[in-house]
Chains A and B, each alone.
Chain A
Amino acid sequence: MQFQRYQISIDTGGTFTDAVVADSSGALHLGKALTTPQDISLGVRAAIEAAAAETGLDMQTLLSTTDLLVYGTTAATNAIVTRNVARTAMLCTEGFEDVLLFREGGKSNGHDFTQPFPLPYIARRHTFGVRERIDAEGGVRKPLDEEHLISILRTVAEREFEALAVCLLFSVVNQAHEQRIGELAAAHLPGIPVTLSHRLLPILREFRRASATAINASLRPGMARHLGSMEKSLRELGYNGSLLVSTSTGGCMEVPMLLEQPVHLVKSGPAMAPVAAREYSRRENEACDLIVCDTGGTTFDVGMIRDGELVRTRETWLGPRFSGELLCLSSVDVRSVGAGGGSIAWMDAAGLLRVGPQSAGAEPGPACYGRGGTDATVTDAALVAGYLPPEGLLGGLMSLDRDAAQTAVAKIASALGRDPAETAHAIINLAGETMIAAIVDITVAEGLDPRDCTLVAGGGAAGLNVVAIARELGCSRVLLPKTASAMSACGMQFADIVFEQAAGAFTTSSSFDRTRVENALAAVRADLAAIENSLQSGSGQSRTDFFVEARYEGQVWQLDVALRGSQLGPAEVKELVRDFHAVHERVFAVCDEQSDLEFLTWKGRLTVTLPKKKALRQPSLHTRPLPRERRAAFFDGVGLVDTAFFSGAELAAGAVIEGPAVITEPTTTIVIPPGATATLSGYGSYLIDTGVGA
């Protein structure tokens, strides 16, 4: 008998830190602990201990027999949101210092004059104009004034800045000036980390490059401290294996790379849910594209898997669109809306039922938490509709105040003139509307039809209305893993090392500049090869895929098209053009074969495969288990009906459950309406046939 070897993934969220341990058989063991903001390593340690207990080991033994640990952190996201970042100076081309202030314009609701204009990510007073100018073709219109530059660098040193961001116009086309600033900064600002925009994000559009550069620069000192101390404490706990950190690219990276580019840490947690969903659906041989939802108490995240691949975007907002921060790096497309168990139901003055955007949050929380909340929330509605176990959540650890929920929902019910259970059901349905809108928005942008997709749901509050949402979208199948409450940490178990590098080389299909493009691709390939050589971990199996961001002449928004090879002779360009038309047709339902194409950014994605534990499949036997109990619950069309309640822990693989039914898992509740059928698979996922569509 071989010794067990383990793989650990850790996700430090806002409230909970999740640890997931995979053993040699592929079984996953979950440990949860409260996140400890003062010293994150305490919560991490507690979560590992909890997961170790699930495997029947003590922590030291577990850590000493673990080969790979993937760490995920919200530290970068939190640092940006709270502006607890390094004091950062920004260098821009003189005359254009307000690039971060003006952004790209745009605003939500043109009639709303109560919104303050958002502050720039780096203050105007911390932004300095460099005397230089490069034009669109890379020509030097104004040489770099080094004397003036050095006086700026002296000021940066004197005023005790901790980090420097540099983003000059057209530095992507001609890197010379930024490179020279890098050299002079190294000499005049020893010890201060410098982020050069053409290195971090070689794409056109000055605001986007500047935004990513500024965010990256501001994170460098803090994230270096954070990752350094995390590695130190893991080593002190006795861990000697490889350490990787998950990123927003939907993979992970080694620590040294992230010390230079910590911007990849931002929103890395949500990016892992689609990675988990992809793996779970592969196991079940789901061939469809996936819509991936993660529902928490206050936020609903949605992402996609298309043709088995993660869908990525350069338009990731941290915070609200237009007034939040735009990350611009190619990252997994996951969009967040404010909706969850805490969303508050209310009647507006003209008699319309509304849910949200206000949320009771964690404090006071839903009325049924008994912490002083009196507004009816979605969680209260779930209790009144009869879905939640009377003994409370988390297996009874958290009791629920049924009367408080009843009182809260009754207020809405009397305004509506309906009975409480029906009202509760309406509240849950309406909360689903925000989620449906978010799903429609993201799938439309990618040209996906939800009806052709399987909906994969995670997060503690997912099971309440996911089947109802799927039905509204016309999805015939829902996949809900038993490990739904720790989707991000589970995703890390299935992640590879992923790194993207890009190079800008503008050209068109009618006058294709082959030399320029092949040089750009060669530079990308060389960069990625250097990164691969520097890696400590990985299986030695790697592949590099190349893409181009292209558009029709005159368009502004690019589409990614995969390159079939690295040679781009006339025949290959023709093929590339055809591929672009096909992608355009898929996404926008139109294509214009008469139009010239513009190619802007050439990028490579390095994927280094990490060793993965094989999935454990339980033998599954088609059974129809008896419910633990029967109670009344409210459903669309039938009202309050006798409903079967099952305890998830008691169900064996192959169990088939027909709605109306409710399955109670320790961390989630799955509502199966009449007409829907759930089957527990051998891999521990509930596969739900929603009873609509295909």
Chain B
Amino acid sequence: MSQVAAKSSAGLRDPVLAAVLANRFDGIVREMTNTLLRSARSALINTGRDFSCAITTADNRLLAVAEGLPVHTFGSHMQTASMTRLHSDLAKGDAFLHNDPYLGNTHPADQTVMVPVFAEGRHMFTACAKAHQADIGNSIPSTYHFGAKDVYEEGSVIFPCVRLERDYEMIEDVVRTGMRRIRVPEQWRGDLLAARGAARTAERRLEELCSRYGIEVIETFVEDWLDYSETRMAQAIRALPKALLSADGAHDPVQPFLPDGVPLHVSLEVDPDQARIVVDLRDNIDCVDAGLNQSEACAINNVTTGIFNCLDPTIPRNSGSFRRIEVLLRENCVVGKPRFPKSCSMATTNVGDRLVNLVQRAFASLGEGYGLAEGGVSLGAGAAVVSGEDFRRGGRPYVNQLLIGGNGGPGGPSCDGWLTYGIPVVAGLTYGDSIELDELRFPILFETVRLLPGTAGAGRYRGAPAMETTYGVRGGSMIVVIISDGQYNAPRGVLGGADGCLATTHLVYTDASEQRIANFDIVLLDGTGVLRGRTNSGGGYGDPHTRNPRAVRDDVLEGWETPERARDVYSVCLTGNAEDESLAVDVEATEKLRRADALPSSISK
């Protein structure tokens, strides 16, 4: 064995070196991530963490993504594929700017800087830094244009994989194009420089790595690592029951564009014998005349995310593990390949969030221990894009997306939902804004940011509760662009778990009267009222009657749940009270109540 560099069954020719080099590639992506996080300008990137870095191979396979957002995981390799296809003259010192959803990008707001990395004159890797911009020149002051019937109405500046640097020199024509069309251009330019800095950092490190270990060793590692990742995925799938799964759901109605919403259907074939999962998204409606269409990258990514959410979280996410997943898409389909010029303005959220949810809910139908409930999908007041002119600074314009008080996460087979979950496609990874920093930078005044007790989708493992965010404008007026979901179709519970609660957004006037705000709306805030958003809670996993009574008691004690719901929903009887901390489970009464609940009503009488 030791004399020949024989491939082990897992495909690792050198299991020690593989572990070392995998660590180095992850380290490089982390270094990119830190560089971008700390030097970016817009809150969406530096606070919201709405960006991701990745390394692909020269032949466009995804190799390393480290801490990237789930929604950005898949697709960098589709973007680099367009780079190698469109630019036959790639050279050291090049950088490209790419935000074209018809060429493999997620959606136009995610601008990606790509740097081809060379060693010994050969293109070895491409370093990709993708960041969601605060503005991209849309015809409305939001990077999410829900009403756009096509890319022209959307109005975003599309950079279809254009050269940004040659010989390490910025091509200022490209920057000028953006500066002329993008709101708050200095902020955009700063973020672009930050992304470029991150990609260049990776370039230096990758060059060093290649010269340290030699091209051949690195190339061997790449193949081994992708094979290893595939093996990990294959092993996970072999441990699943063989099944045909499906789930139906819908994005909420959106007036006036989509009065019936967007019905969605996902079917999955889990084949442990072949160690493969095939997801079919073809049985869905055509592209819609609104910004809700999935790009190809997002459609594949979001179902893949749903699958990864239900498997061992340590399986590497790269083109190796992806080999075991096939996603069937259809041309001109709302969750498939968008037909130019249909708009993909909102491809990363909304319908994308629903896809993640549908896949993880479908997995739950494998039975106890599998899958997840659905997580909250609303993007109301706390996730709105606010813009206007700041009266405190001589009318200086501002635009940014808020990231405050997101949805509750889904209950799972072993754990309650994550409270600061946000939406399915970010799954808790983004940071929340500081109230103080937001108020310092924008003429906004918050009234509440708080948890809403008694809202969690009940279950053996409950979803996380909903949150409330209320704010008004300090002076002048503020344009608030909202692109929510989750006001009509709640996040679903699974295996007996309850659904999460519905989201709402209201304009609350100073005389206390309220006006309901639609999912997609542009609200002009002035001194006459404040905006109050309540998010979805996460769906519950498993029968609430099987929840550990102590966990119910802890929830009541901490004000996450109400005593009434403890009794009515969870059948848990409590004694004492929270104020003097004497709250306790009445074990006998609880057992009795739960036994009575378990009996069919006709017998229990």
Q: Which residues of A contact B (CB under 8 A)?
A: 95-98, 101-117, 123-125, 135-137, 141, 159, 169-170, 204-207, 347-354, 416-419, 426, 429-430, 433-434, 436-437, 440-441, 444-445, 506, 552-557, 584, 587-590, 592, 594-595
Interface string of B183-218 (1 = CB under 8 A from A): 000110010011001001100000000000000000
A205 touches B437 (CB 8 A): yes
B439 touches A136 (CB 8 A): yes
23 pairs across A/B with beta carbons < 8 Å? A102-B419, A105-B422, A106-B420, A111-B305, A111-B313, A113-B313, A117-B417, A124-B560, A137-B392, A170-B436, A204-B440, A348-B232, A349-B235, A350-B12, A350-B235, A351-B9, A353-B15, A436-B27, A554-B186, A555-B190, A556-B43, A557-B38, A584-B39
A101 touches B231 (CB 8 A): no
User: Assuming the A-B contacts A123-B558, A349-B235, A437-B27, are A445 and B38 also in contact, with contact meaning beta carbons closer than 8 angstroms in the complex?
Assistant: yes
Query: Which of B258-266, B330-338, B445-453, B498-506 forms contacts with chain A?
Result: B445-453
A354 touches B19 (CB 8 A): yes
Which residues of chain B have C-beta atoms less than 8 A from A136's C-beta? 436, 439-440
Query: Which of B53-61, B245-253, B427-435 forms contacts with chain A?
Result: B427-435
User: Assuming the A-B contacts A105-B432, A444-B34, A590-B197, are A111 and B427 also in contact, with contact meaning beta carbons closer than 8 angstroms in the complex?
Assistant: yes
Whole-angstrom distance between the alpha carbons of A440 and B39 in the complex?
Answer: 18
A102 touches B405 (CB 8 A): yes
Q: Which of B368-394 contact A (CB under 8 A)?
A: 372, 392
Give the residue among A108, A112, A123, A136 with the most B Cβ atoms within 10 A.
A136
Interface string of B11-50 (1 = CB under 8 A from A): 1100110111011001100110011011111110011010
Whole-angstrom distance between the alpha carbons of A125 and B22 in the complex?
Answer: 45
Smallest distance from the beta carbon of B301 to chain A beta carbons, Å? 12
Q: Which residue of the partner chain, among A159, A445, A506, contacts B440 with CB atoms under 8 Å?
A: A506
Whole-angstrom distance between the alpha carbons of A169 and B435 in the complex?
Answer: 8
Smallest distance from the beta carbon of A302 to chain B beta carbons, Å? 14
B16 touches A430 (CB 8 A): yes
A433 touches B20 (CB 8 A): yes
B186 touches A110 (CB 8 A): no
Other A-B contacts than A433-B23, A590-B197, 4 sampled, CB-CB below 8 A, are A110-B427, A117-B417, A350-B228, A444-B35
Q: Which residue of the partner chain, among A123, A204, A419, A555, contacts B434 with CB atoms under 8 Å?
A: A204
Smallest distance from the beta carbon of A103 to chain B beta carbons, Å? 7
> Which residue of chain A has the shortest Cβ distance to B308 in the bound complex?
A111
B450 touches A98 (CB 8 A): yes
Counting CB contacts under 8 A, is B557 at the interface? yes
Counting CB contacts under 8 A, is B10 at the interface? yes
Which residues of chain A have C-beta atoms less than 8 A from B392's C-beta? 137
B19 touches A101 (CB 8 A): no
Whole-angstrom distance between the alpha carbons of A557 and B49 in the complex?
Answer: 12
User: Assuming the A-B contacts A106-B431, A110-B428, A556-B437, are A418 and B2 also in contact, with contact meaning beta carbons closer than 8 angstroms in the complex?
Assistant: yes
Which residues of chain B have C-beta atoms less than 8 A from A95's C-beta? 446-450, 470
B18 touches A114 (CB 8 A): no
B70 touches A110 (CB 8 A): yes
B231 touches A351 (CB 8 A): yes
B20 touches A96 (CB 8 A): no
Counting CB contacts under 8 A, is B367 at the interface? no
B415 touches A588 (CB 8 A): no
Give the residue among B197, B439, B440 with the most A Cβ atoms within 10 A.
B440
Counting CB contacts under 8 A, is B1 at the interface? yes
Counting CB contacts under 8 A, is B575 at the interface? no
A103 touches B437 (CB 8 A): no
Which residues of chain B have C-beta atoms less than 8 A from A348's C-beta? 232
Which residues of chain A have C-beta atoms less than 8 A from B558's C-beta? 123-125
B445 touches A353 (CB 8 A): no
Which residues of chain B have C-beta atoms less than 8 A from A114's C-beta? 313, 412, 414-415
User: Assuming the A-B contacts A106-B431, A136-B440, A205-B434, are A352 and B474 also in contact, with contact meaning beta carbons closer than 8 angstroms in the complex?
Assistant: no
Counting CB contacts under 8 A, is B416 at the interface? yes
Smallest distance from the beta carbon of B240 to chain A beta carbons, Å? 15
Smallest distance from the beta carbon of A73 to chain B beta carbons, Å? 30
A590 touches B39 (CB 8 A): yes
Smallest distance from the beta carbon of A317 to chain B beta carbons, Å? 14
Chain A interface SS verdict (over half): loop
B186 touches A594 (CB 8 A): yes
A555 touches B46 (CB 8 A): yes
Whole-angstrom distance between the alpha carbons of A115 and B431 in the complex?
Answer: 17
> Which residue of chain B has the shortest Cβ distance to A206 in the bound complex?
B436
Q: Which residue of the partner chain, among A104, A107, A204, A444, contacts B427 with CB atoms under 8 Å?
A: A107
Q: Report, nearest first, the 6 A-B pairs whose CB atoms are least far apart.
A: A351-B10, A112-B313, A554-B41, A110-B427, A417-B1, A107-B428
Q: Which residue of the partner chain, among A115, A204, A416, contacts B437 with CB atoms under 8 Å?
A: A204
> Which residue of chain A has the shortest Cβ distance to B309 in the bound complex?
A111
Interface string of B307-324 (1 = CB under 8 A from A): 011010100010000000
Whole-angstrom distance between the alpha carbons of A345 and B431 in the complex?
Answer: 34
B451 touches A98 (CB 8 A): yes
Counting CB contacts under 8 A, is B279 at the interface? no
Which residues of chain A have C-beta atoms less than 8 A from B47's C-beta? 556
Q: Which residue of the partner chain, among B34, B429, B441, contacts A106 with CB atoms under 8 Å?
A: B429
Whole-angstrom distance between the alpha carbons of A594 and B186 in the complex?
Answer: 9
Give the residue among B47, B49, B450 with the most A Cβ atoms within 10 A.
B450
Counting CB contacts under 8 A, is B580 at the interface? yes
Give the residue among A96, A105, A352 with the most B Cβ atoms within 10 A.
A105
> Which residue of chain B has the shortest Cβ distance to A110 in the bound complex?
B427
Which residues of chain A have C-beta atoms less than 8 A from B445's C-beta? 135, 141
Whole-angstrom distance between the alpha carbons of A206 and B437 in the complex?
Answer: 9
Q: Which of B422-473 contact A (CB under 8 A)?
A: 422, 426-432, 434-437, 439-441, 445-451, 464, 470
B19 touches A353 (CB 8 A): yes
Smallest distance from the beta carbon of B563 to chain A beta carbons, Å? 13
Q: Which residue of the partner chain, among B10, B30, B431, contacts A105 with CB atoms under 8 Å?
A: B431
> Which residue of chain B has the shortest Cβ distance to A107 in the bound complex?
B428
Counting CB contacts under 8 A, is B146 at the interface? no
Whole-angstrom distance between the alpha carbons of A70 and B184 in the complex?
Answer: 54
Q: Which residue of the partner chain, among A110, A124, A350, A590, contacts B559 with CB atoms under 8 Å?
A: A124
> Which residue of chain B has the shortest Cβ distance to A508 in the bound complex?
B393
Whole-angstrom distance between the alpha carbons of A207 and B428 in the complex?
Answer: 17
> Which residue of chain A has the shortest Cβ distance to B229 in the bound complex?
A350
Which residues of chain B have C-beta atoms less than 8 A from A112's C-beta? 313
Which residues of chain A have C-beta atoms less than 8 A from B406's C-beta? 105
Whole-angstrom distance between the alpha carbons of A153 and B334 in the complex?
Answer: 57
Smallest distance from the beta carbon of A115 to chain B beta carbons, Å? 7
Which residues of chain B have C-beta atoms less than 8 A from A587's C-beta? 38
B415 touches A113 (CB 8 A): yes
User: Assuming the A-B contacts A114-B313, A125-B557, A418-B2, are A135 and B418 also in contact, with contact meaning beta carbons closer than 8 angstroms in the complex?
Assistant: no
A125 touches B559 (CB 8 A): yes
Counting CB contacts under 8 A, is B579 at the interface? yes
> Which residue of chain A has the shortest Cβ distance to B306 in the bound complex?
A111
Counting CB contacts under 8 A, is B8 at the interface? yes
Whole-angstrom distance between the alpha carbons of A471 and B7 in the complex?
Answer: 29
Whole-angstrom distance between the alpha carbons of A418 and B35 in the complex?
Answer: 40
Which residues of chain A have C-beta atoms less than 8 A from B409's C-beta? 113
Q: Which residue of the partner chain, among B69, B317, B417, B420, contacts A103 with CB atoms under 8 Å?
A: B420
B19 touches A595 (CB 8 A): no
Smallest distance from the beta carbon of B601 to chain A beta carbons, Å? 34
Q: Which of B222-246 contact A (CB under 8 A)?
A: 228, 231-232, 235
Which residues of chain A have C-beta atoms less than 8 A from B67's C-beta? 108
Which residues of chain A have C-beta atoms less than 8 A from B434's C-beta? 104, 204-207
Smallest distance from the beta carbon of B576 to chain A beta carbons, Å? 13
Which residues of chain B have C-beta atoms less than 8 A from A135's C-beta? 439, 445, 474
Which residues of chain B have C-beta atoms less than 8 A from A429's C-beta? 16, 20
Give the residue among B305, B313, B416, B441 with the most A Cβ atoms within 10 A.
B313
Which residues of chain B have C-beta atoms less than 8 A from A159's C-beta? 579-580
Whole-angstrom distance between the alpha carbons of A584 and B41 in the complex?
Answer: 13
Whole-angstrom distance between the alpha carbons of A444 and B33 in the complex?
Answer: 11
Q: Which residue of the partner chain, among A206, A419, A445, contacts B2 with CB atoms under 8 Å?
A: A419
Whole-angstrom distance between the alpha carbons of A117 and B456 in the complex?
Answer: 14
Smallest distance from the beta carbon of B405 to chain A beta carbons, Å? 7
Counting CB contacts under 8 A, is B584 at the interface? no
